[in-house]
Amino acid sequence: MSTAAVPELKQISRVEAMRLGPGWSHSCHAMLYAANPGQLFGRIPMRFSVLMQMRFDGLLGFPGGFVDRRFWSLEDGLNRVLGLGLGCLRLTEADYLSSHLTEGPHRVVAHLYARQLTLEQLHAVEISAVHSRDHGLEVLGLVRVPLYTQKDRVGGFPNFLSNAFVSTAKCQLLFALKVLNMMPEEKLAEALAAATEKQKKALEKLLPASS
């Protein structure tokens, strides 16, 4: 199977992001993850557990949202949103990972924070999220990203990448897995290629046969 290049957005530094004018909006999201020694079916290494969430619009994304820089610092704004959707976690500037400029008509700089937890702490976040204010409303539930590929080369991570993601979430996920050394870049590319091929075949089935 051929590989696909891992998509990348234009990355800028935090300092550069803070210098952007009032015409730019800032979104802040958090990737929470933990090493996972478990094995699926007793033979497929889980490696890591990464949390994402199903949003109210049917798209997958990371916990977080837009931050109004007139009233909040990036971290204070992020923690305010996390409190509504997760209920029990506060991140700091030490958890900052990256800033990327988004493509399209809207001028948005997307900030990503990442914190490694223990598996027990991650599970506690999942439990707390069910009791948060936004659960069942803006947040329909947390999901763990399957960071493995089954023998059919589609099950697991490739299937997950076939889902619909909000804005920069998919690129941020791939970027974080790469820079945090959670998955080799060639494995990311292989999973992305398998997901793209699956989506292509699904579309071909929907299109009427040519005469």
Question: Domain limits of the chain?
Answer: 9-146
Per-residue model confidence as pLDDT tens for the chain (211 residues): 455 566 678 999 999 999 998 889 999 999 999 999 999 999 999 999 999 999 999 999 999 999 998 899 999 999 999 998 887 789 999 999 999 998 777 899 999 999 999 999 999 999 999 999 999 999 999 999 999 999 999 999 999 999 999 989 999 999 999 999 999 999 999 999 999 888 888 777 877 654 4
Under DSSP, the state recorded for 165 is B
Q: Is 65 helix (H, G, I), strand (E, B) or coil?
A: strand
Q: Is the torsion defined by CA of 158, 135, 176, 38 positive or negative?
A: negative
Give the C-alpha distances (Å, rounded to integers) separating 95 from 92, 113, 184. Answer: 6, 5, 22
Is residue 31 within 8 A of residue 176, CB to CB? The reply is: yes
Alpha carbons 95 and 118: distance in angstroms, whole number: 15
DSSP codes of every residue in 131-160? TSTTBTTTEEEEEEE---B-TTSSTBHHHH
| Class in CATH terms, 9-146 | alpha beta
pTM: predicted TM-score of the whole model, two decimal places:
0.90
